[in-house]
Each structure stands twice: as C-alpha cells, then as structure tokens.
Amino acid sequence: MSVKPKQNIPRLIAVIFISLVAWIIFSTAMPSVNALTIIRKYIPPGEQFEFDGIRVTAGHAPKNTVGAGNLVEVFDAAADSWERAIKDEHTVTIQFGWSPIPVGNGVHNVRFQTGIPNRVTEAIVYVDNDGSTRWFLDPTPQEHSEYQTVIECFVALGGGPVNSGYVLSGHSASAQALDLLTIAKHEIGHSIALSTWNYLWVTKQADRGILVNPPRPFSGSLIPVNSGGHLRLLGALMDSSLLPGQRKHISVVDVLAIAEVGEFIDLNLDPETNPIANSDLDKEKARPGCG
C-alpha cells in the first residue's frame, strides 16, 4: 500500500480556520438566550409539603370552579409571562398546588435565596380550595378573547409617566369568579422578588417605596408599597386588590419593581403584548392610577 504525500494539510488548515471564523461570527450575531427560568413542580393531591415550618397536605381543585381549565396549565401560562418579562439569566424553582388557606386565596413562601446579588432560588405557592373562593379556571390561559374591555392605568412616580396596570373585564362566564391566572401571576411575582421573606425586599423598599435605579428605564421613579410585599397602585398586578370578573396583565411598574428588588436589568416591559392594541377589545380611555 502506497502512502500519499501530505500536500493537502495546508488546505485542511485553511478550511478549519475559515470554519472557525464563520462560527465565531455566527455565534456573536446570535441573540442571547439567557433569561429567567421558572422550574414548575406541581404538588399532586395527597402529597405533603412544608409551608413556613408547617406540614400541609395538597388537595384537589374545589368543586365550585368556573371554566374547564386546570391549575397546571394556568400556572404554566403565568410563569411563561414572567419568563418573557425578565431576560437576565436566573433560575427559580416554584412548587405549587391546592390546599385550604385560613385567610386569603393564594399564598407564597420563599424556601431558599442565595448569590450576589441575593435572589430567590426556591419558593412554594398554593391556592385555596376550601370553596370560599370561586375560581375561574381558564381553559385557554395563553389568550384573553373572553374579555371585552381593557383599561390601561398610568401614573407619574418621578421618572416620567409610566404604565401601572392593564385591567381586563367583561367576561360574563367569570363575572362571579376570581381569575386564577391573575392570582398565579401575582404569587409568582412574590416568589421571584416581592416578598417580605426576601432579604433584598427589606432593604430596597424601606419605608418610602421602591426606588428605580439606572440602568433600568424610568429611573428615579419611586414605586409606592404596602404590607406583605405588595405595591400600592390600583391596577398593578402586584397590588393586593382583584375583583371577581377581572384579569390583570403584568404592567411596566410590576416589571420595574421586580427588577429593582431582584436586581435584574435585562427587561421586557411588554411581556404579554399590550392588550390595548388588541382590536377585539374595547379600548377604554386610559385612567390615571386606575383609582
């Protein structure tokens, strides 16, 4: 067997070099895929979990619900919305399920937090199933065609006029029920950052509110807060109020508050696509503060 001379080695090196350069150019041009990742872990009925040091048993959905949806699909849609809002690379694991709640309709608990900056890495959420809350379980939680009207809220907080809420209404089937999708998004917002269990909440909000700092947009805004990790802005998702028949989207102020407390900087301020632009909805005049 004869051995061929190695006259093709320079050509091979040139091909490798060109391919390497092309790969570098391509990878540099590719958009970053880093973003918030919410790992969702459903707690099935009968399984016990620990909530703030107390053993709790997960249950089934209450029998007086409205709509053919389920908690897993609704929670997934809520988590997807927050993943679109926060583009910084961070992972938080959230367990969720049904269980009776003595007061209220949804609760959260921060399990673990760590890192620089300090961020929540594990939390737990459960929603009330004792029948005192009548839930709307949307079978299509990724779209909002059931709602006929949307009100955009805005407020001036020191960094220029800023959107502080999108409140949807006019869905006759859920008129007497509380929207589970809104509550799920609200409790996930607590689990990511706006929690009295979060060390940074204590230092960031102090007694005056959450001050938005550069490089975040609307810097200089002072977001008013309430007890329990809530914002004090009617219409905001992270405000503590929600009426039966209403649905709230994540507002710009909600994103800014989460970003400031969690020290996120890569933000999408319109993670659910501004419903004002949806031609299927009546575009009510925007209301200051939705008060």
Q: What residues does each domain of the chain span?
A: 34-288
pLDDT tens profile 5-22: 444 544 534 433 444 434
Give the pLDDT score at 283. Answer: 47
Q: What is the DSSP string of 182-245?
A: HHHHHHHHHHHT--TTSHHHHHHHTTT-EE--TTSTTTT-EE-EEGGGEE--TT-TTBS---TT
Sole residue written with tokens 């040139």: 14
Q: Is 93 helix (H, G, I), strand (E, B) or coil?
A: strand
pLDDT tens profile 66-112: 999 999 999 999 999 999 999 999 999 999 999 999 888 999 999 99
Answer for the pair 224, 231: CB distance below 8 angstroms, yes or no: yes
The angle subtended at Cα 271 by Cα 186 and Cα 288, nearest 5°, is 70
Give the pLDDT score at 145. Answer: 84
What's the whole-model pTM score?
0.85
Give the pLDDT score at 14. Answer: 43
Sole residue written with tokens 């509110």: 209
In order along its 291 residues, the chain shows pLDDT tens digits of 433 344 454 453 443 344 443 433 333 333 345 699 999 999 999 999 888 888 999 999 999 999 999 999 999 999 999 999 999 999 999 999 999 998 889 999 999 999 999 999 999 999 999 999 999 999 999 999 889 999 999 999 999 999 999 999 999 888 899 999 999 999 999 999 999 999 988 888 766 799 999 999 999 999 999 888 999 999 999 999 999 999 999 999 999 999 999 999 999 999 987 655 443 455 455 566 675
For strands 36-42 and 161-169, give the pairing.
Answer: unpaired
Tokens of 85: 């809002």
What's at 205, amino acid-wise? Answer: Q
